[in-house]
Amino acid sequence: MAANSRNDPRLFDSSYSYGQLTSLTGFALRRASLLDFGKFGDSVGDRAITPLRYSLLEVVGANPGLQQVELAKILGLSKPAATLGLDFWEKRNCISRRKDRDDRRSYGIYLTEQGEATLAQLRDNVRQHDERLTTCLSDEELLQLRTLLRRIYSG
């Protein structure tokens, strides 16, 4: 996204009043999220891979055999949203769904070899993306920001 783009979330048009928005935490979070989302696809080399889709693959990789309902709960997703995300990775041969040995009505989700390779590459790209996103913060500020954000989303 070009720095002069009128939709660039980093830019505020000083000829307009934002009212109380600039003093609201949610507005600041949304602006930061838009900046992250806007650059994420370029950073990973595939605009179809969103932060959410990456998160699904990362959690499946860290928890082999996880059931879809659990995955949705972990990421705060609806069941249909989790299904759509998993369908995306299944079409790319990155995950497989296997019947649970103990409960044949349930399926565990696993990375395929392709999924493991994809996740390894994505991890490096996402780490670099995150470093570019937060380059304006010191290590101490970044730790403080993450700590404060965890407090917000943990209630």
pLDDT attached to residue 106: 83
Query: Is 61 in contact with 116 (CB distance < 8 Å)?
Result: yes
What are the residue ranges spanned by the domains of the chain? Answer: 24-154
What is the Cα–Cα distance from 77 to 54, expressed in whole angstroms? Answer: 14
Give 131-138 contacts, CB < 8 A, sequence gap 24+.
132/39, 132/43, 133/35, 133/36, 133/39
What pTM was computed for the model?
A: 0.84
What fold does the segment set 24-154 form as a domain?
Arc Repressor Mutant, subunit A (1.10.10)
Q: pLDDT digit of tens for each residue in the chain (155 aa)?
A: 344 454 555 556 677 888 898 889 999 899 899 889 989 988 999 999 999 999 999 999 999 999 999 999 999 999 999 999 999 999 999 999 998 887 778 889 999 999 999 999 999 999 999 999 999 999 999 999 999 999 998 88
